[in-house]
Amino acid sequence: MTLTRAPGPLAGSPGDDVNFRIEGPKHRLLMHDFPRRVHARLGGEVVFDTERGRLLHETGLLPVLYVPEEDVHTELLERTDHTTHCPFKGDAAYWTIRAGDRVAENAVWGYPEPRPEAPWLRGYMAFYWGPMDAWYDEDEEVHGHLRDPFHRVDARDTSRYVRVLLDGEVVAETERPKLLSETGLRNRFYIPAEDVRRELLTRSDKRTVCPYKGEATYWSLDGAENAAWSYEEPLVDAAKIGGYLSFDHEALTVETEPPPGT
C-alpha cells in the first residue's frame, strides 16, 4: 500500500509536494524478494512452500506474492481454459487445485509469456488467498493477506479530548484515548471501554480481519449499525488498543475539542 497508493512514489498520482518526477506509465509494477518462508495448505496438502517468493506491487492494488514454479506442488494443479488479459503484465493462464477432497477452481495464475516490460514474471505463479485453507508466514498462520513490508501501524498514548455523540446524546467521552496511525489510512481514536456507555451498545455478528491489527469485533447503536469496533486480542503492533473501541458512522458526531465552559 505504501508504494502503490497515494502518496506512495509508485501511485498513479503521488502528489505535488515532491522534488522528483517518475517518467513512465501511470500504472506501475515493482517486484522484489519477500524476506521470509511462506507456504499454503489446501485439503491437508501443502500446495506451495517457498523461501524465494517475490511481492509484486501494482498501482492501486495490494501487493501479491508470486512463487517460483519449482516451489509449487504442480502435481496438484490442472491447467484450465480460463484466461485473462492485463495490459501491463500480459495474458494470464489459470490452474485449478485438487488437494485431498478439496477443489479450488482457477485459484492459481501465472504469465507464461509476460509482456516485454515485465519479463521477471515468467516462471512464477500467484494464488488467490480465499480458496486456501491456511497461509503461513514462517510458522505463524496469517489471515487477510501477507503483510506489506512497507506498511506500518503505530499506536500512541495521547491526552487529546474525544467525545462521540448520537443525536446529541453522549456515547463516549475521554481524555485518555489511543491514537492509531496506519499507512494509507486516516488516524483513528480508540477509546477505553470504561469511557464508553456500553449499555448503549449491542454486539454485532460482523467480524473483519486485519493482517496488521487482528480480528475486529463490531458493535451497533440504536440507528447506527456496526458503528464501533474493537480488537479484543490484537496483534503485537496494535497491542496498545486491545479492548479499546473506535467509532465511525455517518449518524455519529465525533468531537475533538472540549465543549465551551468545560
Contact 59, 10 (CB under 8 A): yes
* CA atoms of 187 and 257, how far apart (whole Å): 16
- How much is the pTM? 0.87
Residues in the chain: 262
Tens digit of each residue's pLDDT (9 = 90 or more) over 32-51: 999 999 999 999 999 999 99
Identity of the residue numbered 236: V
Residues 239 and 180: their CA atoms lie apart, in Å, by 11
Cα separation, 213 vs 191, in Å, equals 16
**pLDDT at residue 1 above 60?**
no
Taking residues 21-27, report their average pLDDT: 79
Rounded mean pLDDT of the chain? Answer: 94
What value, to the nearest 5°, has the Cα angle with vertex 126 and ends 24 and 40?
140
| Burial 147-167, CB ≥16 within 10 A → b, else e | bbebbebebeeeeebbbbbbe
Taking residues 199-208, what's their average pLDDT? 97
What is d(CA 180, CA 178) in angstroms, rounded to the nearest whole number? Answer: 6
User: How confident is the model over 153-176, as a mean pLDDT?
Assistant: 97
The pLDDT value recorded for residue 259 is 84
62-113 pLDDT, tens digit per residue, is 999 999 999 999 999 999 999 999 999 999 999 999 999 999 999 999 999 9
CB of 227 within 8 A of CB of 249?
A: yes
Confidence of residue 24 (pLDDT cuts 50, 70, 90): confident
Region 155-165 average pLDDT:
97
The reply to whether 29-142 and 153-255 are identical in fold is yes
Q: CATH second-level architecture of 153-255?
A: Beta Complex (2.170)
Contacts of 110 (CB under 8 A, 6+ apart): 66, 69, 92, 93, 95, 121, 124, 125, 126
Q: Which sequence spans correspond to the domains of the chain?
A: 29-142, 153-255
Helix ranges, 131-257 (H): none
Asked if residue 167 has pLDDT above 60, the reply is yes
Closest CA to 38 of 47, 51, 28, 25: 51
Q: Architecture of 29-142 per CATH?
A: Beta Complex (2.170)
CA distance 59 to 1: 9
How crowded is the C-beta side of 195, counted as CA atoms within 13 Å?
Answer: 21
| Of residues 259 and 226, more confidently modeled | 226
Among 1-15, 53-67, 151-165, 235-249, whose mean pLDDT is lowest?
1-15
Q: What is the DSSP string of 72-128?
A: B-GGGEEEEEEEEEETTTEEEEEEEEEETTEEEEEEEEE-SS--TT-GGGTTEEEE-
| Grid cell 465551551 in the structure block, residue | 260
Residue pair 29/89 in contact by the 8 Å Cβ criterion:
yes
